[in-house]
Structure 1
């Protein structure tokens, strides 16, 4: 996955850098080792519709926020959303939980990004398919390449 990401970003002339660090999947701890803020982290959560587990959504939100499942269900739209089981997430994304990048490489996984992630920082950071390697990517390049659906999906504080 890491090589696939790097090749895609390079081919699309994205402004990015890679950071190698000790394995870490926790948003707060990985931000520290990256030297970034927690909110810059693009937290990727694979979810599915409760009524049809074949409806898969990769929800991307700032690392310092929580996912509002009701808002995500309204964005899809569907009745109820749940987190995909870890084994399903690994099977569908090719990555373990915590290492899933904020890109969908499957036509069967819809990409929904909270615009708050992109509004706060010029760069986003994420584990690049591995727990020991991160990419810090220009936010404009991320949107241009990933073409996500943008919806408010975070819990309101």
Structure 2
């Protein structure tokens, strides 16, 4: 059974990877592909790619209750060396409760497995919010919906193509 689930995730990830590359090409984005050993943990993959952790786009799926029967999901994108401030996300969405989404729900909404989540939302129920601190670096690095390949993308092209809601969602260091 786990082999079937893994194969299903891999098929979804390939489609998502291809969609991302097609979107970057169609949008005239400036990007580079970086092949490396399979790794999804931010600090370790940054070392493999050869850049500072602050240049990584760390992607986290968050669940926010905004009413008794209303739940919203957020794809929060923060610098790799920052911590997501769940309270800031809750306040931004005027929620009553906030938590990281469960792994299964996060992977369903993101379209890829943990460690490969893109800083782009391709799911209508996944609102994209990025911390303005991401804009401090000229290039963002992230796994490209797979553990063995990353993308270095010009930050201004990321903002133009992904069109995230920009809001401070990290804790003070």
* TM-score, scaled to structure 1: 0.95
Runs of 4+ in 1 over 6 A off after TM superposition: none
Q: Whose radius of gyration is greater, 1 or 2?
A: 2
Q: Are residue 31 (structure 1) and residue 57 (structure 2) matched?
A: no
Cα distance between partner residues in 2 of 1:93 and 1:29? 21
1:54 is displaced (CA, Å) by: 3.6
Q: In 1, are the aligned partners of 2:109 and 2:125 still within 8 Å (CA)?
A: no
Q: Are residue 43 (structure 1) and residue 74 (structure 2) matched?
A: no
The one-character-per-residue Cα deviations of 1:53-90 (angstroms, maximum 9, x if unpaired) are: 74110000000011110011112221221101011111
| Unaligned runs of at least 5 residues, structure 1 | none
| Unaligned runs of at least 5 residues, structure 2 | 1-15
What corresponds to 1:8 in structure 2? 23
Aligned to 2:145, the other structure's residue is in SS state strand
RMSD, aligned α-carbons: 1.2
What corresponds to 1:71 in structure 2? 88
* TM-score, scaled to structure 2: 0.86
The one-character-per-residue Cα deviations of 1:92-136 (angstroms, maximum 9, x if unpaired) are: 2221111000000122111000000112x1000001101111000
Q: Are residue 133 (structure 1) and residue 125 (structure 2) matched?
A: no
Cα distance between partner residues in 2 of 1:79 and 1:42? 27
